[in-house]
């Protein structure tokens, strides 16, 4: 529970991810939560085989992307902290995304679309903030790498699933 208190300010851009405690157990908890939350979301949109394949691929790409970026920056020693930070903010925001998606699906209300856009922008900004702090780059470069992250992980997993199983 203590790690959650340390990592929660990341959602409001209030702490440097490199200053957070390193915990493999916390990393594993976030990884499993991320996996099952993404699987829950995907299972409500596509069939079970595609969903499992896409979530495994998406999770693997998330881990691989973090590793590559940190290795190129010569800061792979902070992999557990940084990847925990990314997974944690993605998990917190996804907790709000799930009911919003249900609302959007059931009502098709324009406010649900607006809320989904806000949550997506929040997710993008949180990852950009983490990247900016970890790599020591400016905000624009952080946004570019954040965009690349989302294209590689979500777009790459979706495209691969469509090509191989579609």
Chain centroid to CA 146: how far? 10
Residue 116's domain comprises 23-165
As given in the structure block, the two tokens for residue 105 are 């699906």
Residue 79 within any structural domain of the chain: yes
Residue 9 within any structural domain of the chain: no
Residue 153 within any structural domain of the chain: yes
Number of domains forming the structure of the chain: 1
Q: Please list the pLDDT of the chain residue by residue as tens digits (166 residues).
A: 688 899 999 999 999 999 999 999 999 999 999 999 999 999 988 899 999 999 999 999 999 999 999 999 999 999 999 999 999 999 999 999 999 988 988 888 899 999 999 999 999 999 999 999 999 999 999 999 999 999 999 999 999 999 998 7
pLDDT at residue 157, rounded to an integer: 93
pLDDT at residue 105, rounded to an integer: 86
Per-residue H/E/C for 16-81: CHHHCCCCHHHHHHHHHHHHHHHHHHHHCCCCHHHHHHHHHHHHHHHHHHHHHHHHHCCCHHHHHH
Residue 2 within any structural domain of the chain: no
What is the value of pTM for the model shown? 0.94
Residue 133 within any structural domain of the chain: yes
Residue 1 within any structural domain of the chain: no
pLDDT at residue 1, rounded to an integer: 61
């Amino acid at each position: 529970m203590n790690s959650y208190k340390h990592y929660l300010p990341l959602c409001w851009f209030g702490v440097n991810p490199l200053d957070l405690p390193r915990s493999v157990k916390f990393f594993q908890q976030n990884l499993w939560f991320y996996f099952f939350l993404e699987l829950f979301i995907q299972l409500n949109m596509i069939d079970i085989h595609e969903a499992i394949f896409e979530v495994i691929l998406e999770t693997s790409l998330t881990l691989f992307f973090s590793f590559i970026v940190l290795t190129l920056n010569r800061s792979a020693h902070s992999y557990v902290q940084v990847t925990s930070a990314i997974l944690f903010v993605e998990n917190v925001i996804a907790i709000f995304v799930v009911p919003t998606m249900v609302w959007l699906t059931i009502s098709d209300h324009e406010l649900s679309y607006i809320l989904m856009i806000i949550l997506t922008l929040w997710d993008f900004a949180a990852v950009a903030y983490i990247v900016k702090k970890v790599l020591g780059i400016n905000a624009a470069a952080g946004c570019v790498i954040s965009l690349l992250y989302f294209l590689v992980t979500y777009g790459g997993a979706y495209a691969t699933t469509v090509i191989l199983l579609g």
